[in-house]
Chain A
Amino acid sequence: MSELKTQELTINMGPQHPSTHGVLRIELLTDGEVCMRAIPHIGYLHRCFEKHAENVDYMGVMPFVDRMDYVASMNNDIAYAMAVEKLLGVEVPKRAEFIRVVMAELNRIASHLLAIGTYGLDVGTFTPFMWAFRDREFILDIFEMASGARLLYNYLWIGGVWMDVTPGIEEKIKEFGDYFGPRIDELDTILSYNQIFINRTKNVGIIPLETAINYGLTGPNLRGSGKKWDLRKNEPYSIYPELEFDVPIGTGEMGAVGDCWDRYMVRVREMRESLKLVKQALKQMPAGPFRAKMQRVRPAPGEAYFKTENPRGELGFYIVSDGSIKPYRVKGKSPCFTSISCLDEICQGAMIADVVAIIGSLDIVLGEVDR
């Protein structure tokens, strides 16, 4: 008997699919339940960030930068602020650097909590999602005390921070430090080391190290594949060299190196490291001014590129100045954009249900992919 001919079927996943984490459309070429190709179509959340940035002054770009990766605004701000500072050549006061690092690391925890919680949701468990949001709420309260906003902070300014931290916030952050450690253990019990979750995510969506490097993946996605590469360690900026922390990598404990579980676990372990960083930075925070003395931002003609370690990878800003109060060109290098580029390759041969697990493990934020 000749082999049964099956027809390939093209289906659209998204743009309004809850597990695509925003508005992403994936064109799936399926053969039965197996996915042959997965072609991401992006651009549904395009807001012309780069063009906007050419039409407002340097300070006015900050609110738009906030809205790129809207779950890690503080980390975006730090990248943009440091790029402009590099262009200007200003020195940021020590206290401001410490406040920045505390805020950025707290935001990293908040962002990873969101990634972990929604990942649990993607593979079918609801409780960790609620727990993650409960703990994230704590961090958002801290940010609200400092900046007045809960999601889009505009708090880290060029040359320092907007205002000094509110009195009482240090106690609140300390309280969070004590509160959150045991919560990660709980998260481990209910999700990370849950056998059902492990079986669901191990050996799924394996990204070999070579593929990861070829596609230019950064952040937890690259570290999940076993490469110890973290800009905070490898190209240190701000006060990171003075602080002590480890860079967790994927080791293939449960399955192969670079599978979904490894990427997930890197995020969980990074939260512990971030917590360490927050505690250290808070302890060492010096007194002093919180913003450098400066006039209206007007850099001399020139260009600068600065990259930082975002929760999702390497975020860089390339800024060209023509000597006016508005940037001539601002280009954002987004880690999510590179992450999503390898989707097609790792989805080939996976089940349709696994595509959901793979997207979740890449932890993309469409606001940053499309900008």
Chain B
Amino acid sequence: MKKYFLDIYRGMRSILKGMILTLIVAFRPKATIQYPFVKRELPTRTRGRLYCNIDDCIGCKLCAVACPVDCIYITANKRGPEEEIPLTSPESGAKQRKFHLPQFDIDFTLCCWCSLCTVVCPTDCLYMTKEYEFSVANQQDLIWQFGEGQKPGPKQKIEPPHLKSVK
């Protein structure tokens, strides 16, 4: 019987202590931010959506090999013997670009943001941006194209020419 009342007393005391503490904490500065209206400032190393500056890419495919989930798809066609070999920008080491790169796609549905691809790139043309809000309604829109002559963004559907003629 005595224990019963003692427990009640102790319980009340604990609640009171907790409440006082909660009251004190309530007057501290807020820890939360109103997200869509206020955004955090992101540190420099933030891993957001990948971006490839295709003009600096030499088509070495090191990134595709390093990727643990194989979500970088590159098609590299060797330039013809007569063709002039352009160089990458001086900041990236002015390396020879021996390949045409008609396809450089990254599938962001598979990517796990491990950043292993960006560290192996010899010209630093593949890097992570600070963009992190890229939910889409259509899964297909998460496959991005960076290939030569393509606008970086969701992969455009290429209508096969023979189908066009049927229509």
Interface residues, chain A, with chain B CB atoms under 8 Å away: 56-57, 59-64, 66-67, 127, 131, 134, 137, 144-149, 152, 154, 162-163, 166, 186, 189-190, 193-197, 199
Is B14 part of the contact surface with A, judged by Cβ < 8 Å? yes
**Cα-based distance from A62 to B132 in the complex (angstroms):** 22
CB-nearest residue of chain A relative to B40? A141
Interface string of B27-55 (1 = CB under 8 A from A): 00001000000000011111100000000
Binding site for A on B (CB under 8 A): 7, 10-11, 13-15, 17-18, 21-22, 25, 31, 42-47, 66-68, 112-116, 119, 128
Contact between A195 and B11, CB atoms less than 8 A apart:
yes
Q: How far is the CA of A57 from the CA of B21 in the complex (A)?
A: 52
Q: How far is the CA of A189 from the CA of B22 in the complex (A)?
A: 10
The answer to whether B45 and A147 have CB atoms under 8 Å apart is yes
- Contact in complex: A148, B46 (CB < 8 Å): yes
Q: List 28 A-B contacts (CB under 8 A).
A: A59-B116, A60-B116, A61-B68, A62-B114, A63-B68, A63-B114, A131-B25, A144-B42, A144-B46, A147-B45, A148-B45, A148-B128, A149-B47, A149-B113, A149-B115, A152-B113, A154-B116, A166-B43, A186-B21, A189-B21, A190-B18, A190-B21, A194-B15, A194-B17, A194-B18, A195-B7, A196-B14, A199-B11
**Count: A-B pairs, CB below 8 Å:** 78
Contact in complex: A166, B44 (CB < 8 Å): yes
8 residue pairs, one from A and one from B, having the closest CB atoms: A60-B68, A148-B45, A195-B10, A63-B114, A148-B47, A194-B14, A195-B14, A134-B31
B22 near A127: Cβ-Cβ < 8 Å = yes
Candidates A59, A134, A144, A195; contact of B13 at CB < 8 Å: A195
Chain A residues whose C-beta falls within 8 Å of the C-beta of B46 in the assembled complex: 144, 148
Q: Which of A64, A127, A193, A199 contacts B68 (CB 8 A)?
A: A64
A61, A149, A162, A197: which has the most chain B beta carbons within 10 Å? A149
Give, as a whole number of angstroms, the nearest-CB distance from B37 to chain A.
Answer: 19
User: B67: nearest residue on chain A (CB-CB)?
Assistant: A60
